[in-house]
Structure formats: structure tokens, C-alpha cells
Amino acid sequence: MKYEHLLKQHHLKATPQRIAIIGLMQREGHISIDDLYSAIRNKFSSISLATLYKNVHTMMNVSLIREVKIPGQKTKYEIEKESHAHVMCKICGELKDIPFNPSTLIKDTIDVSQYAADEVAIVVSGVCPVCQKK
């Protein structure tokens, strides 16, 4: 199974709970901890929220998944992938990945601020095409 391989690549034990977490993130794209917990409990009724958080943070620590902090909303999580920004609809809440190469922004930030910047997180909000038509 590809999720087992992905976990092993990141030196993590491929537990059924971790495989389910990665599978849900793959299927949903971006998922809140509440939605993740509700879906996981359908399959693993005895899993606690603390255990879920522990697994999520363990996978974040090895850069398998990442947080997507959305202003004014709950944090969502996604499987780590190439650099990208996010666009979010203010009406329906859809969150999509947008290809983005942050290297110029990081270089400009370093040049101006002298910070040792190494990461960019961007969420652009607006109204999606479907909601514009309503």
C-alpha cells in the first residue's frame, strides 16, 4: 500500500491509524482536526483526540504533513508536497492549492530583513467562480 511506503520513507511505523489519517488527507486534500477526528472515529472508535493529535504532530515533525493556517478559521492539515500557496473562498470555504515558487519572495525577505527566512505560507482569500455565479 502506498501510504505504508510513505510512512516508512519518513521513518514512521505504519500503524492502521496513521494509514487512515494519511488516506483521509489524500482524499480530502485539506482537512481540519475536527473533521479528521470524526472520520477516523468511524473506523477506530476507541481512538482519542489526544492520540490523533499525537499522530498528526509526529507526522508534522518528520515533514510528512503540514499545517495550513487560515486566518479566522480552524487550522487544516495536508500531506506535504511541493511549494504552493492556497486560495480560499470566503463564501463556501473551498481551499485549493495554487502552484507557487517562493524563492524570489524568500530572497527579497532575506535581503530586506536580514532574517534567515526559509518558509513561506500564503492563503489568498476571495470568492470562487461557483459562488460568484450565485
Backbone dihedral angles phi then psi of residue 126, each to the nearest 5 degrees: -175, -150
Same domain for 45 and 91: no
Residue 68 has, within 13 A of its CA and on its CB side, a CA count of: 25
Residue 6 has, within 13 A of its CA and on its CB side, a CA count of: 18
Taking only the tens place, the pLDDT of each residue in 6-34 is 999 999 999 999 999 999 999 999 999 99
Residue 1 predicted with pLDDT over 80: no
Same domain for 90 and 43: no
Question: What range does the domain containing 95 cover?
Answer: 84-132
Same domain for 104 and 118: yes
Last residue of a domain, one of 64, 79, 94: 79
Same domain for 104 and 56: no
HEC-encoded secondary structure of 31-58: EEHHHHHHHHHHHCCCCCHHHHHHHHHH
Same domain for 95 and 51: no
Task: Provide the whole-model pTM.
Answer: 0.84
Strand pairing class (31-32; 76-79) = antiparallel
